[in-house]
Amino acid sequence: MAPSILLVEDDDGIALPLTRALEREQYAVERVSTGRAALASAATGRFPLVVLDLGLPDGDGLDVCRQAREDGYTGAVLILTARGSEIDRVVGLDVGADDYMAKPFSLAELLARVRALLRRQAGPHTAPGSHTAPVPQPAQGLRVDPQSRQAFVADTVLPVTAKEFDVLAELDGVRGNVVTREHLMDRVWDENWFGSTKTLDVTVARLRHKLVDSGAPAQIVTVRGIGFRLEDGPPDA
């Protein structure tokens, strides 16, 4: 079955040609034009990718992205916007977006980024509030399961986005050892990433907050000038 993409764009001049281009790539596209409709559609769990415009008639797309994440959406979010400054990109990534493209954009580049994001969405995509039976695991500690693309703290699922999971999985694969920034960018964002490496710092910062909030006995340590290391033990232990 073709991957389904939720396109949130109120401008017909952008939405219609973009829909046609995505459908030519064999994607199933549902287009909505408001933030309220976007949140309702994302909550169904049918879409592994949301392509989100920020200038919506009923609010700011950043608020839509933030709310979708709070509601439990774990698919990928690609933001499209006329706001192209670095601080705008960082804010977009900080509220939960996985990628960010400034208008006007190259259609070929957008399709490449869509393919890259969808490749990271392996495994079943479940609706917020639904539950997948976890693989048996230790009663304590942080466990990362690449097959189900889920992370667990004890027996509770850690709510991470696609990119957050990929970064965590790379660090967990060599837990206790340093993973370079270059390796993480190549493995998680691959050759189709054309933006700033600040997106890695934002993703790591979100992961740190989630580990702390979940009470996970693990922390991500920055190795200045080199990269990051996942260590067992709470922060400042």
pLDDT number for residue 135: 38
pLDDT number for residue 125: 43
pLDDT number for residue 89: 67
* CA-wise closest residue to 169 among 120, 130, 134: 120
Mean pLDDT by 10 residues, the chain (237 residues): 90 93 94 96 93 92 90 89 69 80 84 84 46 40 86 88 89 91 84 65 91 91 92 70
Q: How far apart are CA 27 and CA 5, in angstroms?
A: 7
Ramachandran sector of residue 72 (left: φ over 0; alpha: ψ -120 to 50; beta: rest): left
Give the residues across from 184 on adjacent strands: none
AA identity, residue 104: P
Which positions ≥6 away from 64 have C-beta within 8 Å?
8, 35, 38, 39, 52, 56
pLDDT number for residue 236: 57
